[in-house]
């Protein structure tokens, strides 16, 4: 398969919309819709989702941009600090986006006096939807490339080179879609208390375990080489995997005591 989609969706004068931006916004709005449904189901004010979305957008963009700049390409951005604000040129790191979202969620929960744990657990149900959309956006952008492959479903990204590659963006999107279905199923079958305690840990563990495994199929993204066989993305995933596992074990311990 040859892939040569223009990353620009539409341009009218100075106004331009990129495919990645469409999927990014679509992921946020789709997640917002699902979160509002959960709020209505559990007797919470669904209108708070609109304010929460603004907090999350700022947190995700700031966290994703800063981590990309200072972890993946520190030499370039330290030498060209004004390039940090040029987010439209690309360069967002999902690990940083999640950290930024957690900070934004903590600020929101404190200001609006909502339970941080309840918000986090319910957003865990819909969070994978956003991840699915972002990875499809990466595919349209011909970025986050896979290693060369001779498999029949390998993709040639004509805008990059003539090398057939693993469509690792689609691998990740498929993995996150399965996690989305798993999270929603667990939300349906677990009690509210169990959902609140367990779902964040399951989300962190499953999302970043998938990310860790699929990193083996990607080309190097950082502008430097590590003295170990793991990539930067894998190293950043390990704390989330371990934290998620410990979270699950502790939640099960609490539930068993109750």
Q: Name the residue with higher pLDDT: 16 or 128.
A: 128
DSSP one-letter code for 141? T
Domain membership of residue 108 as a residue range = 2-257
Report d(CA 96, CA 66) in Å as an integer: 7
Residue 72 in this model has a pLDDT that exceeds 90: no
What is the domain count for the chain?
1
Report d(CA 33, CA 121) in Å as an integer: 16
| pLDDT, position 226 | 73
Report d(CA 37, CA 124) in Å as an integer: 14
The rounded percent of the chain whose pLDDT value lies above 70 is 98
Residue 199 in this model has a pLDDT that exceeds 80: yes
Residue 14 in this model has a pLDDT that exceeds 80: no
Comparing 78-87, 101-110, 181-190, 243-252, the range with the smallest average pLDDT is 78-87
Q: Name the residue with higher pLDDT: 110 or 14.
A: 110
Across residues 119-132, what is the average pLDDT?
A: 94
- Supply the angle between the helices 48-67 and 19-41 in degrees, to the nearest 10: 140
pLDDT bin (cut points 50, 70, 90) of residue 8 is confident
Report d(CA 198, CA 117) in Å as an integer: 10
| pLDDT, position 132 | 95
Q: Name the pTM for this structure.
A: 0.91
3-class DSSP assignment, residue 113: coil
Residue 78 in this model has a pLDDT that exceeds 90: no
3-class DSSP assignment, residue 153: coil
3-class DSSP assignment, residue 93: coil
Comparing 13-17, 23-27, 138-142, the range with the smallest average pLDDT is 13-17
Residue 71 in this model has a pLDDT that exceeds 80: yes
| pLDDT, position 155 | 96
Residue 46 in this model has a pLDDT that exceeds 70: yes
Report the mean per-residue pLDDT for the chain. Answer: 91
């Amino acid at each position: 398969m040859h892939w040569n989609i223009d990353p620009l969706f539409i341009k009218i004068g100075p106004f331009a919309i990129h495919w990645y931006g469409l999927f990014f916004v679509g992921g946020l709005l789709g997640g917002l819709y699902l979160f509002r449904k959960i709020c209505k189901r559990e007797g919470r004010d669904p209108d708070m989702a609109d304010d929460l979305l603004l907090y999350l957008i700022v947190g995700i963009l700031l966290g994703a941009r800063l981590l990309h700049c200072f972890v993946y390409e520190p030499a370039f951005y330290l030498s060209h600090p004004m390039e940090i604000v040029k987010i439209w040129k690309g360069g967002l790191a999902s690990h940083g986006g999640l950290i930024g979202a957690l900070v934004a969620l903590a600020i929101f929960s404190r200001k609006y006096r909502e339970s941080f744990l309840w918000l986090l657990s319910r957003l865990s149900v819909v969070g994978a939807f956003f991840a699915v959309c972002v990875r499809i956006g990466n595919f349209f952008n011909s970025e986050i490339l896979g290693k060369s492959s001779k498999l029949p479903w390998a993709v040639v990204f004509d805008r990059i080179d003539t090398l057939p590659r693993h469509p690792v963006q689609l691998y990740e999107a498929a993995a996150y879609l399965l996690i989305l279905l798993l999270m929603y199923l667990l939300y349906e079958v677990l009690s509210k208390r169990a959902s609140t305690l367990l779902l964040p840990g399951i989300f962190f563990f499953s999302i970043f375990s998938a990310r860790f495994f699929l990193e083996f199929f990607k080309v190097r993204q950082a502008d430097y080489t590590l003295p170990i066989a793991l990539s930067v993305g894998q190293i950043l995933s390990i704390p989330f995997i371990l934290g998620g596992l410990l979270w699950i074990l502790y939640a099960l311990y609490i539930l068993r005591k109750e």
